[in-house]
């Protein structure tokens, strides 16, 4: 639908979070820093996207991808981060305000009547989520390690999730 979208890059990196809430910004900061690295050392076939949160229309962003990396802050991932393969699963939700990555894959399956591309979740441990707070030092250290992992993930052949 967008007139600006032409060819679909085979790899998508999607980070989300609220930049006004401390460590919740980790997902979008990951994307910003990865984009800077990609601009400094161009690597074809990679698209990066960011948003406040996941919503149903993001299922359309997964179409045509060979693999996808989701990146978000986490309150219970083991520090500095955890990475794991995602499987589609419906959420049990009370409000419209949130959608989990697994639920997004479920929407993809409903929409396209086929399985989504291989998706990996990178959950970066955060601890400070107060309104107006800056990202914590611990979270920024976790982000640096996660970014290094993300670069290795991009360079690895499809199917390799972590090391």
Partner 1 sequence: MGPDLETAAHTQGLRRVAIDPLSRVEGHGKVTILLDADDHVQQVRLHIVEFRGFEKFIEGRPYWEVPVMVQRLCGICPVSHHLAACKALDLVVGAAPVTPAADKIRRLMHYGQVMQSHALHFFHLASPDLLFGFDSDVNRRNIVGVAARYPDIAKKGVLLRKFGQEVIRATAGKRVHGTGSVPGGMNKHVSLADRAVLFAEVGQMLAWAQDAVDIAKQLHAQNPALYDSFGNVPANMLSLVRADGALELYDGVLRARDAAAGRIIVDGVSAQDYLGLIEEEVKPWSYMKFPYLRSLGPQTGWYRVGPLARVQNCDFIPSPLAEAQRREFIDWGRGQSIHAALACHWARMIELLHAMEVIAALLADPDIVAGELLASGSRRQVGIGVIEAPRGTLIHHYAVGDDDLVKSCNLIVATTHNNQVVNEAVRSVARRYLDGRAITEGLLNHIEVAIRAYDPCLSCATHALGQMPLDVALVDAQGGVIDRVERNTKDPP
Of 20, 66, 72, nearest to 50 (Cα)? Answer: 72
CB of 37 to partner 1, least distance (A): 22
Q: Tokens standing for 60? A: 């359309």
Return the number of the residue (57 or 115) whose C-beta is nearest partner 1. 57
CA distance 109 to 124: 26
CB of 158 to partner 1, least distance (A): 20
CB of 66 to partner 1, least distance (A): 21
What does the buried/exposed string (b/e) look like for 78-90 if buried means 16 or more CB atoms within 10 Å of the residue's CB? eebbbbeebebee
Return the number of the residue (12 or 86) whose C-beta is nearest partner 1. 86
CB of 46 to partner 1, least distance (A): 19
Q: Which residue has the tokens 């401390």?
A: 22
Return the number of the residue (41 or 96) whose C-beta is nearest partner 1. 96
Q: Which residues bind partner 1 (CB under 8 A)?
A: 1-3, 16-21, 23-24, 50-57, 59-60, 72-77, 84, 86-87, 89, 91-98, 100-103, 107, 110-111, 121, 123, 126, 129-132
Residues 6+ away with beta carbon under 8 Å from 92: none
Return the number of the residue (131 or 155) whose C-beta is nearest partner 1. 131
CB atoms within 10 A of CB 63: 14
Return the number of the residue (36 or 43) whose C-beta is nearest partner 1. 36
CB of 154 to partner 1, least distance (A): 21
Give me the residues paired with residue 124 across strands: 73, 81
């Amino acid at each position: 639908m967008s007139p600006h979208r032409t060819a679909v890059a085979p790899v998508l990196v999607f980070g989300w979070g609220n930049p006004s809430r401390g460590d919740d910004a980790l997902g979008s900061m990951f994307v910003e820093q990865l984009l800077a690295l990609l601009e400094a050392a161009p690597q074809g076939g990679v698209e990066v996207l960011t948003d406040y949160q996941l919503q149903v229309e993001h299922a359309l962003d997964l179409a045509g991808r060979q693999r996808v990396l989701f990146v978000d802050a986490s309150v219970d991932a083991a520090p500095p981060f955890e990475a794991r393969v995602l499987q589609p699963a419906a959420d049990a939700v009370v409000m419209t305000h949130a959608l989990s990555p697994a639920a997004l894959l479920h929407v993809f399956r409903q929409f396209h009547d086929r399985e989504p591309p291989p998706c990996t979740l990178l959950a970066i441990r955060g601890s400070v989520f107060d309104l107006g707070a800056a990202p914590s030092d611990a979270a920024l250290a976790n982000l640096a390690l996660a970014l290094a992992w993300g670069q290795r993930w991009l360079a690895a052949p499809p199917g390799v999730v972590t090391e």
